[in-house]
Amino acid sequence: MPPSVVPVLFVTGPIGVGKTAVLHAADALLIDAGAQHATVELEEIAGCWTDKMESSRARLVYANLAAIWPNFAALGASRLLLSGLLEQRSELRLVSEAVPGAAVTLVRMHAPLSVLKQRIRHREPGNPDPEIDGARWWKERLDQTRPEDHLVETDDRSVDDIARDVLRLASWLT
């Protein structure tokens, strides 16, 4: 029997755009709505630091997702909310391999580079330059590849408003 369809909402965007904050706000909105779901920040399941990590990071992340999704599903989660960096749309196949039946909606969050720099400077206690360089690279790359189904502007908006928009675009909230 083929697996049932699992709606997956994947939130991506450059460093500093607010993926984690929006993920947590969207999670809270879904809890309030009584939606049975699981929430995973992909960076959190990649926390392993060995000599081999650089070449196998993506494999580790999606192997970990494949290992935990059945546990969530067994408890009744029927949807999956994800956040992480995603360079190209073709990488969504890794989600589909990890979550059988995944029907992925990809929402990219966007903000001007000046806003990303400001946010990074606010959150980074030390030297923010490496994170700013990463934000610049990811912003340019995502603006070029445009892997998303939907684009959400985040500048001058509350996290809760952004989370509502993200969920509405995926038809998870009305």
Tell me the CB-side half-sphere exposure of residue 66, using CA atoms within 13 A. 13
For every one of its 174 residues, what pLDDT tens digit does the chain have, with 9 covering 90 and above? 456 999 999 999 999 999 999 999 999 999 999 999 999 999 998 877 666 555 567 788 999 999 999 999 999 999 999 999 998 999 999 999 999 999 999 999 999 999 999 999 998 888 999 999 999 999 999 999 999 999 999 999 999 999 999 999 999 987
12 contacts 107 by C-beta, under 8 angstroms: yes
In the prediction, which pLDDT does 50 show? 66
Going from N- to C-terminal start, the domains of the chain cover 6-169
In the prediction, which pLDDT does 2 show? 54
β 6-12/150-153 pair status: unpaired
In the prediction, which pLDDT does 46 show? 84
In the prediction, which pLDDT does 1 show? 47
In the prediction, which pLDDT does 71 show? 97
In the prediction, which pLDDT does 130 show? 92
In the prediction, which pLDDT does 55 show? 59
In the prediction, which pLDDT does 60 show? 87
**Cα separations (Å) of 25 from 34, 41, 119, 142, 161?**
14, 13, 18, 23, 9
CATH number for domain 6-169, candidates 3.40.47.10, 3.90.660.10, 3.40.50.300, 3.40.630.10: 3.40.50.300
d(CA 29, CA 63): 28
**Cα separations (Å) of 80 from 12, 100, 133, 138, 172?**
14, 12, 30, 24, 11
